[in-house]
């Protein structure tokens, strides 16, 4: 039996022959298709690595600036910490805790303005305010209560709408000067039991009269006890009250923050 002979055709690679040109084009196509496939696999639905980098940069820039982190707040997850967020970043409180109750009155007509001034009901604060609120709420929950919000961060453009309706500094802060609500450091709150029933504080939210004053002691003892619980616990966690409104609390460290004006997204 004769010896087998194997032939291997040598294709010129100088690009001058027809075979060489076709071979090089084939190699380029294979490499290009492989790169596209790799990019789609690693990009989790992002078509190119450049787009993925741009998306990450957009999120990081938004978080570090003094503005709303829209991309982050839209995620359907509950964060277990504020790691990576600057103290002055605005966050949606519901993204960090499910333990609060909300009745955001200015997103309805059930308020002293008799007008809806928010497009939709959301509670945003700066990170440092949110952190203090969660700690205070943890203490309340240990006693069988939870914080219920009537108002949180209030954009300055909303302050102008409120001033137009009621241009009286006794009831609405002048938007030119602004308030700590506009800085993301003030909240209007009450307490509810674990079944959601409000504690009796003597008046409704935004009742403008002496019955709402902290220094009014001419009230039933159970009302004074409820207000004392709210006030002492909030002060323990860095908040201070104002004399004429039992529901209003400012974070002490927020007074020097800038007035903000972003508009949160509505679904």
pLDDT (tens digit per residue) in 108-138: 999 999 999 999 999 999 999 999 999 999 9
Q: How far is CA 264 from CA 86, 93, 149, 229, in A?
A: 19, 13, 17, 32
* DSSP designation for 255: T
Highest mean pLDDT among 74-83, 88-97, 229-238: 229-238
Cβ-Cβ contacts under 8 Å for 265 (sequence gap 6 or more): 70, 73, 74
Euclidean distance between the first and final Cα of the chain, in Å? 82
Asked whether residue 79 is assigned to any structural domain, the reply reads yes
Residue 4 reports pLDDT greater than 60: no
* DSSP designation for 10: P
- At 247, give phi and psi (nearest 5°): -90, -15
The parent domain of residue 102 ranges over 66-254
In this prediction, residue 22 carries a pLDDT of: 57
Cβ-Cβ contacts under 8 Å for 173 (sequence gap 6 or more): 159, 163, 179, 181, 182
User: pLDDT (tens digit, 9 = 90+) per residue, 154-165?
Assistant: 999 999 999 999
In this prediction, residue 131 carries a pLDDT of: 94
Asked whether residue 119 is assigned to any structural domain, the reply reads yes
The answer to whether residues 104 and 122 touch, using CB atoms and an 8 Å cutoff, is yes
Strand partners, 147: 191
How far apart are alpha carbons 245 and 251 in whole angstroms?
Answer: 15
In this prediction, residue 84 carries a pLDDT of: 84
Domain count, the chain: 1
Asked whether residue 30 is assigned to any structural domain, the reply reads no
Asked whether residue 19 is assigned to any structural domain, the reply reads no
Burial grade of 90 (CB within 10 A; 0-12, 13-18, 19 or more): buried
* DSSP designation for 3: P
The answer to whether residues 153 and 254 touch, using CB atoms and an 8 Å cutoff, is no
CATH at 75: 3.30.1380.10
Asked whether residue 12 is assigned to any structural domain, the reply reads no
- Greater model confidence, 107 or 64: 107
Asked whether residue 31 is assigned to any structural domain, the reply reads no
Task: Work out the pLDDT band at 267, boundaries 50, 70, 90.
Answer: confident
Task: Work out the pLDDT band at 53, boundaries 50, 70, 90.
Answer: very low
Q: Please tell me the least confidently modeled range out of 71-75, 187-191, 217-221, 251-255.
A: 71-75
User: pLDDT (tens digit, 9 = 90+) per residue, 6-27?
Assistant: 333 334 445 455 555 555 555 5
Residue 258 reports pLDDT greater than 60: yes
Q: Please tell me the least confidently modeled range out of 52-66, 124-138, 253-267.
A: 52-66
Asked whether residue 165 is assigned to any structural domain, the reply reads yes
Instruction: Name the pTM for this structure.
Output: 0.72
- Greater model confidence, 42 or 34: 34
In this prediction, residue 79 carries a pLDDT of: 63
Asked whether residue 49 is assigned to any structural domain, the reply reads no
């Amino acid at each position: 039996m004769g010896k087998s002979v194997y032939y291997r055709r040598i294709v010129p690679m100088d690009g001058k022959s027809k075979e060489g040109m076709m071979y090089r084009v084939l190699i380029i196509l294979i490499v290009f298709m492989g790169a596209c496939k790799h990019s789609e696999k690693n990009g989790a639905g992002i078509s190119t690595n450049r787009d993925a980098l741009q998306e990450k940069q957009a999120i990081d820039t938004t978080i570090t600036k003094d503005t709303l982190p829209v991309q982050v707040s839209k995620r359907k997850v509950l964060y277990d910490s504020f790691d990576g967020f600057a103290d002055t970043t605005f966050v949606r409180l519901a993204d960090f805790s499910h333990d609060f109750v909300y009745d955001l009155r200015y997103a309805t007509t059930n308020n002293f303005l008799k007008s809806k001034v928010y497009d939709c009901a959301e509670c945003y604060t700066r990170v440092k305010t949110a952190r203090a609120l969660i700690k205070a709420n943890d203490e309340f929950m240990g006693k069988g209560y939870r914080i219920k919000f009537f108002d949180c961060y209030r954009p300055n453009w909303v302050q102008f709408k409120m001033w137009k309706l009621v241009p009286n500094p006794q009831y609405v802060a002048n938007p030119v000067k602004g308030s700590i609500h506009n800085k993301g450091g003030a909240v209007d709150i009450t307490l509810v039991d674990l079944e959601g029933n409000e504690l009796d504080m003597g008046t409704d939210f935004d009742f403008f009269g002496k019955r709402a004053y902290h220094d009014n002691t001419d009230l039933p003892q159970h009302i004074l006890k409820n207000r004392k619980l709210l006030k002492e616990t909030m002060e323990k966690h860095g908040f201070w009250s104002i004399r004429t409104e039992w529901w209003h609390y400012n974070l002490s460290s927020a007074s020097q923050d800038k007035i903000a004006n972003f508009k949160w997204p509505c679904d």
